Structure 1
Amino acid sequence: MKHSFVDVVTDLLFAPTSVGKDNLIKEGYNSEHIFITGQTAVDAAIYTSKPDYEFNETKLNSLIQHEGKIITVTAHRRENYGLPMEKMFAAIRRIADEHPDVSVIYPVHLSPTVREIAFKKLSGHDRIHLLDPIEYPDMINLISRSHLILSDSGGLQEETPVFKKPLVLMRDTTERPEAVTANAVYLAGTEESSIYDITARLLNDSSLYNRMANAGNPFGDGQASRRIVEILAHHFGFIANLPGEFEG
């Protein structure tokens, strides 16, 4: 866990999970100053998702009407540039080729390197839709309407469990091990075969899909912001009692 000058001088630290708190204690912070609140990003995702949402990217308003299964893709990490990303995209194309009920939606990062590989490997397929980057509300509401997610993102590991959507993480390591431990995220690496195999299983094995979808969210319950406000209010003497901590 990275820490900053702010961490050193602060009186209160808000850890999203017990793992985060343990890491802070190992770095020498006083446990009495650390509160497990859940992740505010979970609060934001819940707040942003709307059943009647109209997408700002107008293409999405029609693409989400696909009668089959929608897979949302994101990929942008520098360590995956080159051959790893080519293998990731080869797996995605193979999934689309072999599963005629699947539609892939991929808002492509503006990095020239990413766009070159993405359009080389994924363009020209009638069920792979390559879009320009989309805004946060569009992404959250796209995730909520997807069947599953393929990504190398960090933040999406916290957001996909909100909507009970399995995430195939196309990376070799993760800074959010709680999601893997909870079985909400599958750490697939970047090999074509491993990404293809787990994605195909999730598309065809309903019991596996349901286990991941119902794993719960180890990062929050939508009450992190409330807890933080109440902890601050208690610290400054405005209320008598501390809120209960998040138990992921």
Structure 2
Amino acid sequence: MLHRRIDIVFGTRPEAIKLAPVAAALHAQGMAVRLVATGQHRDLARAAVDLGPYETRHLDVSPMADPFTYAHSCASAYAAGNLPRPAMIIVQGDTASAYGGALAAADLDLPLAHVEAGLRSHDRANPWPEEDFRIAIDRLAALHFAPTELAARHLREEGCDDSVHVVGNSGVDALKALLATLPPRTGPRGDERRLLITCHRREHWGEPLADLIAATIDLAERHPRLHIDVALHPNPAIGQAWRRALERTSPVRLLAPLTHRQMLLAMRSADLILSDSGGMQEEAPYVGTPLFILRRRTERPEGIASGQLKLIGIERQRIVEEVEHFFASPRVRRAMINGAEPYGDGRTGPRIAAIIAERLALSSLPARPRQERPAASL
């Protein structure tokens, strides 16, 4: 049995969901897991999963407008917490909390493992600032857990070789476990059609969101038998924008922020999803609902290659045209529903735990060479 402590740093609900299978697998390998919650999403992250039999520390860094400043504050709070030194820090994805955990590992000369490493849109503005965060985290990591072969190729092209492991996406582990607990999917509803919409990305605040809302109103007015649900993000500014515009548009239903289980039920009951969410891009193929990506770029193109996702941007006319074409063409709908699993098979957590256990047992995992701490923006 290994008795090496692993710190898992997270701050958002998606991170909590995707890191839960990793924590459980590490615990099963006999390693001591300590969860370090930054507080980026506060109650949402804490309520997202059963945090299990682990020691948990809460940094509770106050939310800040500038994500880079928040990341540096998380790193400083970690150091100030005087936590017993772990054997390794693990972070997931591309959030300010993940970057903060990576900075803490660099400051303390600790090995860093990056779960979901290597995703690239090759456009710093889409998504922003996540593209910058993910690249910076990968530069600091000693272990890169890539979800797909494409992500691994990005990392190798950037000079990471022996540290890259293709393991799948740990979010699929959590997703499959939760899908198994849901009631059976209901059958056809005649000619009734359901559309689910979500939008929260920072680069879409303002005019892009206004375009999406206008397209939603167009669709509601032109297709009275189309049932439209908008799942609101916890950010109050986004909810206010929708409420102001849809005050008199009764066919559109605004849903309060949903739990992960509630969101999966909403996704499964829809015929089509419009979303800018990275997590929903990963989940939709497994739920079995086609998804149109409301972005100009995506760092998750594997679902597009499998035919289950389509990148359409976030312009009003294009949204309306694409949705109408989808519902008018049974052939298009059938082609987007298939059994491909583009982001993993649901066994990522055990793969990651086995690799970490082997490396720690061999004591062969040095930290990356110490670098100067990046400035407050990249």
Task: Give TM class, smaller chain.
Answer: 0.7 to 0.9
Secondary structure, counterpart of 2:278 in structure 1: coil
- Residue in 1 that maps onto 2:35: none
- The two structures have a TM-score, normalised by structure 2, of 0.54
Pick the aligned partner of 1:19 from 137, 150, 154: 150
Distance 2:298 2:315 in 1: 16
Q: Are residues 15 and 91 of structure 1, via their aligned partners in 2, closer, same or farther at CA, if it must alter by over 3 Å?
A: same
- Residue in 2 that maps onto 1:43: 173
Check whether the contact 1:164–1:216 (CA below 8 A) recurs between aligned residues: no
Pick the aligned partner of 1:198 from 315, 319, 322: 322
2:230 partner amino acid = Y
**2:347 maps to 1:217:** no
Moved more, 127-136 or 103-112: 103-112
How big is the alpha-carbon RMSD for the aligned residues of Structure 1 and Structure 2? 2.6
Pick the aligned partner of 1:228 from 352, 360, 365: 352
Which structure has the higher relative contact order (CA within 8 Å, separation 6+)?
1
1:17 partner amino acid = T
Structure 2 matches for 1:159-170, cutoff 5 A?
159-170=283-294
Distance 2:252 2:220 in 1: 7
1:84-140 per-residue CA deviation (whole Å, 9 max, x = no partner) reads 211111212222222333211212123343223211333333331112211112112
- Residue in 2 that maps onto 1:108: 232
- Residue in 2 that maps onto 1:246: none
Pick the aligned partner of 1:208 from 327, 332, 338: 332
Structure 1 residue 7, shift from structure 2 partner: 6.2
Distance 2:182 2:137 in 1: 41
Secondary structure, counterpart of 2:336 in structure 1: helix
Q: Which runs of 4+ in 1 moved over 6 A?
A: none
- Percent of residue pairs identical: 29
Mark the runs of 5 or more structure 1 residues left unpaired by the alignment.
Answer: 54-64, 238-248
Computing the radius of gyration from Cα coordinates, the structure with the larger value is 2
Distance 1:113 1:5 in 2: 29
2:178 partner amino acid = T
2:341 partner amino acid = N
- Residue in 2 that maps onto 1:122: 246
Mark the runs of 5 or more structure 2 residues left unpaired by the alignment.
Answer: 1-119, 121-133, 362-378
Structure 2 matches for 1:67-82, cutoff 5 A?
68-82=192-206
Secondary structure, counterpart of 2:261 in structure 1: helix
1:188 partner amino acid = I
Distance 1:149 1:217 in 2: 18
Q: Are residues 52 and 152 of structure 1, via their aligned partners in 2, closer, same or farther at CA, if it must alter by over 3 Å?
A: same
Check whether the contact 1:123–1:130 (CA below 8 A) recurs between aligned residues: no
Structure 1 residue 35, shift from structure 2 partner: 1.8
Structure 1 residue 66, shift from structure 2 partner: 7.5
Check whether the contact 2:264–2:287 (CA below 8 A) recurs between aligned residues: no
Check whether the contact 2:138–2:144 (CA below 8 A) recurs between aligned residues: no
Secondary structure, counterpart of 1:218 in structure 2: coil
Structure 2 matches for 1:51-62, cutoff 5 A?
51-52=182-183
Structure 1 residue 153, shift from structure 2 partner: 1.3
